[in-house]
């Protein structure tokens, strides 16, 4: 038996080992030198980076290792930052309360909650002094890295050694992340790791620390894009093979300021556009942004998206007032688009049909989430479903949080009933004799329906 295993060609051994969980893969590498070398190329399919010393050292160690770096396909940039405002005791305590309000819960078995039990209460003077001292050290380390460009140099050196890198993700939330059907969130361990790294000290803040809270951002507050700017500057130098770009998440949208027309970031992002096959953008404007600034940023984003002619999957949602952001998806044509995922928008039937019509020949998967239809009647969703059913032949559709404007005005719970959402799905999938219908597939969400043709695989992009 051992002799037979030894005679396996590398291709077959790779296929066998890639199905193993990481813990078992580590054990398998102890078998022999050959298994160790092949297994090493599978340990780090995705790696993380942030402008913090501990993360930069791990990034350097992996990218400098001749075997470990061979399997890297995905880079995830942690956009959280330590904030100057939190060096003051009052804001430190307020930020602590906001963080605990978002991430804390009553489940003692929850990893993040257990870490919060280890976080010293900042209202105790001695604990507050220790927490502020530790926070100040981490803040100074971060500022030195960003101001000196050490993060850029580290990225530049590491990315040059990663010719196999194909996916780039930029986000600031690893606890909630995106809930997606059939997809196991692989970022949980990273959230737990960083929670352990900052025990006793307030963790770094998200792009918008006041999101999901009752507090408002202070006057004059602005996004800090220094780290992300350095990231895209380095990526544009060495990562011509990037096929997938993910900015933000449904739970925590990225700053639309990334696309400000007077910054250098959109130039470097635009350089990636021609080769992109997957583009996922969840962005929002700062409440302090002027309307003219927001319009410029949306125009810059739209220009970048229109250059991505090889797109096969597009996912987008915008925290922007009005319908200005529609120019991102209403107008451009992507000849190979198979997957369309749009959310957090208000639009009419006519606009929706205009978005879908140019892609009716290629579109196979559609995901609609938190969409308000600007028509007078709840039945408008049924009418839209009928129109889409005549326009496209989809393999699968996911509907979540559908709203009609009329229903919002008369109901405390504005989402369409599950029965109505199910009827919309049936209208869209009417070309399939017996589609598989799944309702309320997420335990914490109602009126959610997935319709799928039984013979059609749900792609990893949609899932």
- Listing DSSP states for 191-253 in one string gives HHHHHHHTTTSPPPB-SSTTTTSS--PPTT-----HHHHHHHHHHHHH-TT--EEEES-SSSP
How many Å apart are CA 451 and CA 140, to the nearest integer?
51
Around 196, how many Cα atoms within 13 Å sit in the side-chain half-sphere?
A: 7
How many Å apart are CA 340 and CA 349, to the nearest integer?
16
What pLDDT, on a 0 to 100 scale, did the predictor assign at position 355? 94
b (16+ CB within 10 A) / e for 180-191: bbeeeeebeebb
How many Å apart are CA 463 and CA 461, to the nearest integer?
5
Q: Residue 406 — φ and ψ, nearest 5°? A: -65, -40
* Strand pairing category for 313-319 and 278-284: parallel
Each residue's pLDDT tens digit in the chain (463 positions)?
Answer: 455 666 777 777 766 776 777 677 777 777 787 777 766 666 678 899 999 999 999 999 999 988 888 888 899 999 999 999 888 878 888 888 777 766 655 555 555 555 555 555 666 788 788 888 999 999 999 999 999 999 999 999 999 999 889 999 998 887 655 555 444 456 667 777 777 777 778 889 888 877 766 677 777 777 888 999 899 999 988 888 899 999 988 778 888 888 875 566 777 788 888 999 999 998 888 766 677 888 888 888 888 899 999 999 999 888 776 677 788 888 889 999 999 999 888 888 889 999 999 999 999 999 998 888 887 566 788 999 999 999 999 998 888 888 877 665 555 556 888 888 889 999 999 888 888 887 876 655 666 777 787 665 555 444 4
Rounded CA Rg of the chain: 24
Distances (CA, A) of 130 to 119, 125, 422: 11, 9, 55
What pLDDT, on a 0 to 100 scale, did the predictor assign at position 114? 55
How many Å apart are CA 175 and CA 195, to the nearest integer?
10
How many Å apart are CA 456 and CA 395, to the nearest integer?
6
Residue with tokens 């978005």: 355
Residues 345 and 315: beta-carbon distance below 8 Å: no
In 239-327, alpha helices (H): 265-270, 291-307
With a CB cutoff of 8 Å and minimum separation 6, the contacts of 199 are: 115, 118, 119
Mind listing the pLDDT tens digit for each residue in 328-371? 888 889 999 999 999 888 888 889 999 999 999 999 999 998 88
Residues 49 and 165: beta-carbon distance below 8 Å: no
User: What letter does residue 411 receive in the DSSP assignment?
Assistant: -
* Residue 391: both structure tokens together: 């326009």
Burial class (CB in 10 A: 0-12, 13-18, 19+), 172: buried
Distances (CA, A) of 209 to 80, 196, 250, 286, 297: 10, 20, 16, 12, 21
């Amino acid at each position: 038996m051992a002799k037979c295993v030894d005679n396996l060609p590398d291709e077959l051994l790779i296929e066998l080992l890639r199905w193993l969980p990481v813990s078992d893969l580590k054990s398998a590498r102890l078998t022999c030198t050959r298994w160790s070398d092949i297994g090493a190329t599978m340990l780090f399919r995705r790696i993380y980076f942030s402008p913090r010393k501990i993360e930069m050292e791990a990034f350097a160690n992996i990218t400098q290792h001749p075997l470990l770096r061979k399997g890297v396909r995905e880079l995830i940039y942690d956009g959280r930052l330590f904030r100057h405002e939190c060096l003051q005791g009052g804001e430190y305590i307020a930020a602590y309360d906001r963080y605990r309000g978002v991430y804390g819960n009553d489940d003692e078995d929850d990893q993040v909650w257990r870490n919060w039990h280890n976080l010293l209460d900042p209202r105790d003077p001695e604990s507050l002094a220790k927490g502020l001292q530790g926070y100040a050290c981490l803040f100074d380390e971060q500022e030195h890295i960003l101001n000196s460009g050490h993060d850029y140099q580290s990225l530049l050196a590491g990315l040059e050694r990663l010719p196999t890198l194909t996916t780039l993700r930029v986000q600031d939330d690893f606890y909630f992340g995106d809930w997606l059907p059939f997809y196991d969130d692989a970022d949980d361990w990273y959230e737990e790791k960083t929670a352990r790294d900052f025990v006793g000290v307030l963790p770094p803040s998200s792009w918008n620390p006041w999101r999901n809270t009752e507090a408002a951002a202070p006057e004059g507050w602005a996004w800090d894009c220094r780290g992300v700017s350095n990231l895209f500057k380095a990526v544009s130098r060495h990562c011509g093979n990037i096929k997938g770009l993910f900015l933000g998440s449904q739970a925590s949208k990225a700053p639309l300021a990334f696309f400000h027309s007077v910054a250098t970031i959109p130039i470097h992002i635009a350089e990636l556009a021609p080769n992109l096959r997957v583009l996922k953008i969840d962005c929002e404007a700062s409440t302090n942004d002027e309307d003219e600034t927001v319009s410029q940023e949306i125009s810059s984003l739209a220009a970048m998206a229109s250059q991505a002619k090889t797109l096969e999957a597009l996912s987008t949602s915008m925290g922007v007032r009005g319908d200005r952001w529609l120019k991102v998806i209403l107008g451009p044509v992507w000849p190979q688009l198979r997957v369309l995922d749009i959310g957090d928008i208000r639009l009419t039937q006519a606009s929706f049909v205009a978005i879908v019509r140019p892609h009716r020949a290629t579109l196979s998967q559609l995901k609609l989430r938190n969409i308000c239809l600007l028509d007078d009647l709840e039945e408008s969703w049924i009418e839209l479903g009928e129109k889409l059913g005549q326009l496209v032949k989809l393999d699968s559709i996911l509907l979540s949080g559908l709203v009609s404007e009329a229903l919002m005005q008369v109901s405390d719970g504005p989402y369409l009933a599950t029965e109505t959402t199910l009827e919309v799905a049936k209208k869209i999938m009417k070309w399939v004799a017996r589609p598989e219908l799944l309702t309320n597939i997420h335990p914490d969400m109602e009126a959610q329906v997935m319709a799928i043709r039984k013979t059609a695989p749900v792609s990893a992009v949609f899932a």
